[in-house]
Chains A and B, each alone.
Chain A
Amino acid sequence: MADRAQPLTFLQGLGGCVAAGVALVLLGPLAAVALRAEEAARLTGADWAAIRFTVLQALLSAALSVGLAIPVARTLARRVFPGRRLLVTLMGAPFILPVIVAVFGLLAVFGRNGWFSQVLDLVGLPPIEIYGLHGVVLAHVFFNLPLAVRLFLQGWLAIPTERVRLASSLGFTARDIRRHFEVPMLRATAPGAFLVIFLICTSSFAVALILGGGPRATTIELAIYQAFRFDFDLGRAAMLGAVQVGICAVAALLVLRFAIPRVLGGSLDREPMQWEAFVGRGRFADGLIILLAALFLVLPLLALVGRGVDAMAGLPPSVWHAALRSLVLATASAALALALALPMAALMARRTRTGLELIGALSIAISPLVIGTGAFLILNPIANPVALALPITGLVNALMSLPFLLRALLPAIQQAEASQGRLADALGLKGVDRLRHAILPRIWPSLGFGAGLSAALSMGDLGVIALFSSPAQGTLPLEMYRLMGSYRTDDAQGAALLLLALSLALFWVFDRGGRLRATA
């Protein structure tokens, strides 16, 4: 077979080195955890309870998210109504919403003194119990329902207009449409969506940290944190880390088995014009579905804004210091993530190799807490890990956002190579000149979007920093968690609003910057 002849560009060559480095940084701590776990004692009853709870809450969260998303996505795909585009955009927001902020918003709506409980009290019903399994599942559904909606909506919008028109001309009934179009699409999409959400929920830490706890509601991640932070039992933390990796690896392999449609980008706000003939009835039910979904997503944020505005003025200096630290960390983390993702995506655009894709997706399957534990085990004999808490957090955050960045950059680079790569080859453009003339001008919007995503994810992260930072090094989410822990609710509310504003602002600045640069 003839070679596709061009040698690797500088950027693509660099991508190979970066991929090897990423694999080393992710797998090194994993190896340290595995070695330490071998020395540890067997799993205790409490550990088994944590494993059972992790799997149970992930199963429930995934099932509820997927089950509830289907009617919402179906309505969004088939109905045109005022605010539809805004609601679809809102479905992307939880992805960049700091977990601790969202949980705080959920507490304001569904907590003991929340709006929902107050309504229940009016009709003589007891308040809902948000701590424990209910709360963990509720928070996970809040985060993952929009993700599932986006996956299903993509499936619905991918049904070709011509086929629906053909169905219309053949006199298909609504039942025929379900049978021939909707059920096959759901069969293809639902298993993947379920598994992705299951995977996300097995490694979610901050939700369990705030809403879980106790012998009946401790996840593996939380158990690792407790073993590390409270008992300083590194062997047990490592053992739990190994179990966590095992569960995530199985889920990740299943996810890879079921191809997942893209959830980043995509034109999900396309108006659904082709279904007019089949959506005549059920207007009230559809309206109710949309209203409930919108309220579920918007109310916690409204509650947060309502309660946080007044508190922001009187925030203690420690919050502002933590905010500044978080901003610097998020920006540095986004820059590092881009520096890693750009060469890797360039290489992936040129060569499809399973190994490269696996490295790119590895951090989805490895929890940050496990990496943190492994990093501590490696660093502890040679340096003070606490002193390195911020750089390690920045590095781990960058690695955690890598799969999403690759997903955003890869299609853009492939497009740039397809349209300008041969011209660049013909003109002998190499290295920086090739990047400058042939690639960057075509990928600015994706770079901006990816950087914004990475910065926002890092800004809201409450994972590895919680493991081994000192109070003087706290980021804004950690500071907020401390304020909540010491019952300084007003300050915590103000900090939550500040964190929300900064996360959204960071995302907006990078995303907007990329778009403006592209049209400059």
Chain B
Amino acid sequence: MLRLEHTVTKLDGFTLRADLTLEPGRRLAVLGASGSGKSTLLNLIAGFVLPDEGKVIIGGLDRSRASVADRPLSILFQDSNLFPHLSVFDNVALGLRSDLRLDGDQRARVSDSLAQVGMDGMESRLPGSLSGGQQSRVALARMLLRDQPLALMDEPFSALDPGLRREMLDLVAALCDRTKLTLAMVTHDLRDVSGLCTDLCLLESGRIVLQGPLDDILADPPALIRPWL
């Protein structure tokens, strides 16, 4: 599904070197300290930055120079996932048509995706009147509706309290199980990804220093990962 081939990305004095493979349906946790390059890695996959060297291959095609909109993926950011002036329904509907002119079938699909995340009945509310967890659910509903094979998440629930964060991660896990979504999620807390992610890559100073199936790594943790346990 996703392959980074010898990518080198230089940005504002920082260099990220990454080789990475993620098979379809797998869920990757991207772990690392602040400044290690987690967000740059996600931006590279998303297309917000372009590599100086190497290739970004998504769905078997070289997308190294493609813009964000031309890559088959959905993104959930840390914050600002919703347009504050649009209703819950319209925010989700943007995933289908940017001019918001939906036919009956499309409207039904929007309602269905809202129902899947437990937000039915709140279609006319504005984001400002929702709790943080509810806002995350709306953004998830749009991600579902866009139906892209690859999802990128940049610590999307970090602002939520621990209980709510666990609830949202469980919801994401359930949605991924149901839709066979491939996922790459940035986190700085290994506890967040247990039960959700299948793979792990650890970044240090712009390099991937550890990569593999999460269960294998946790079964016999190498020294590098111990501070994160």
Q: Using CB atoms and an 8 Å cutoff, list the residues of chain A in contact with chain B.
A: 1-7, 419-420, 422-423, 425-430, 432-434, 437-438, 441
Contact = CB atoms under 8 A, between A and B. Distances in A.
B224 interface: no
Interface of B: 9-11, 44, 46-52, 67-69, 74-75, 77, 80-86, 94-95, 98-99
Nearest to A426: B75
A438 to B, nearest CB: 7
A314 B54 CA distance: 79
A2 B44 CA distance: 10
Name the residue in A2, A420, A427, A433 with the highest tally of chain B Cβ atoms < 10 Å from its Cβ.
A2
Given A3-B50, A5-B48, A425 B69 contact: yes
B80 A441 contact: no
Given A422-B48, A428-B98, A5 B68 contact: yes
Given A423-B77, A425-B68, A438 B83 contact: yes
Nearest to A429: B98
B83 A441 contact: yes
A394 B167 CA distance: 60
Contacts of B69: 425-428, 430
Given A422-B48, A425-B67, A441 B81 contact: no
A437 B46 contact: no
23 contacts: A2-B9, A2-B50, A3-B50, A4-B49, A5-B50, A6-B68, A419-B80, A420-B80, A420-B83, A422-B75, A422-B77, A422-B80, A423-B81, A423-B83, A425-B67, A426-B68, A426-B69, A428-B98, A432-B99, A437-B83, A437-B86, A437-B94, A437-B98
Residue of A426, A432, A437 contacting most chain B CB atoms (<10 Å): A426
B52 A433 contact: no
A116 B80 CA distance: 58
A429 B120 CA distance: 25
Contact of A425 (B44, B48, B85, B99): B48
B80 A7 contact: no
B52 A2 contact: yes
Given A430-B98, A437-B98, A5 B83 contact: no
Contacts, number: 73
Q: Which 8 A-B pairs have the closest CB atoms?
A: A428-B69, A433-B98, A441-B85, A3-B50, A426-B75, A425-B68, A5-B50, A2-B9
Given A4-B48, A425-B68, 10 more contacts: A1-B10, A1-B11, A422-B68, A423-B77, A423-B82, A426-B74, A426-B75, A430-B69, A437-B86, A441-B84
Contacts of A428: 68-69, 98
B67 A7 contact: yes
A425 B48 CA distance: 9
Contacts of A3: 49-50
Among A420, A428, A434, which residue has the most Cβ atoms of chain B within 10 A?
A: A428
Contact of A2 (B51, B68, B98): B51
B94 A429 contact: yes
A464 to B, nearest CB: 40
A427 B98 contact: yes
B48 A433 contact: no
A416 to B, nearest CB: 11
B49 A2 contact: yes
A7 B70 CA distance: 12
Contacts of B84: 441
A4 B11 CA distance: 9
A261 to B, nearest CB: 27
Contacts of A433: 98-99
A429 B99 CA distance: 9
Interface-central residue, A1, A6, A423, A437, by most chain B CB under 10 Å: A423
Nearest to A518: B85
A519 to B, nearest CB: 10
Contacts of A6: 47-48, 67-68
Nearest to A1: B10
Nearest to A434: B98
Contacts of B75: 422, 426
A65 to B, nearest CB: 42
Contacts of B46: 426
Kindly name the residue among A425, A427, A438 whose own CB sees the greatest number of chain B CB atoms within 10 A.
A427
B226 to A, nearest CB: 32
A313 B100 CA distance: 52
A430 B97 CA distance: 11
B76 to A, nearest CB: 9
B50 A423 contact: no
Nearest to B51: A2
Nearest to B143: A426
A330 B50 CA distance: 46
B51 A427 contact: no
Contacts of B9: 2
Nearest to B16: A2
A510 B91 CA distance: 29
A4 B85 CA distance: 27
Contacts of B44: 2
B142 to A, nearest CB: 8
Contacts of B52: 1-2
A437 B74 CA distance: 18
Contacts of A420: 80, 83
Contacts of A429: 94, 98
B46, B50, B98, most chain A CB atoms within 10 A: B98
Contacts of B49: 2-5
Of B9, B46, B47, B85, which is in contact with the most chain A CB atoms at under 10 Å from its CB? Answer: B85
Nearest to B73: A426
A464 B180 CA distance: 68
A343 B9 CA distance: 31
Nearest to B12: A1
A45 to B, nearest CB: 59
A427 B100 CA distance: 12
Nearest to B52: A2
A419 B83 CA distance: 10
Nearest to B79: A419
Contacts of B82: 423
B184 to A, nearest CB: 14
A420 B85 CA distance: 12
A5 B67 contact: yes
Given A2-B51, A4-B49, A428-B68, A423 B98 contact: no
A10 to B, nearest CB: 13
A438 B74 CA distance: 18
A5 B68 CA distance: 8
B42 to A, nearest CB: 11
B39 to A, nearest CB: 11
Contacts of A425: 48, 67-69
Contacts of B94: 427, 429, 437
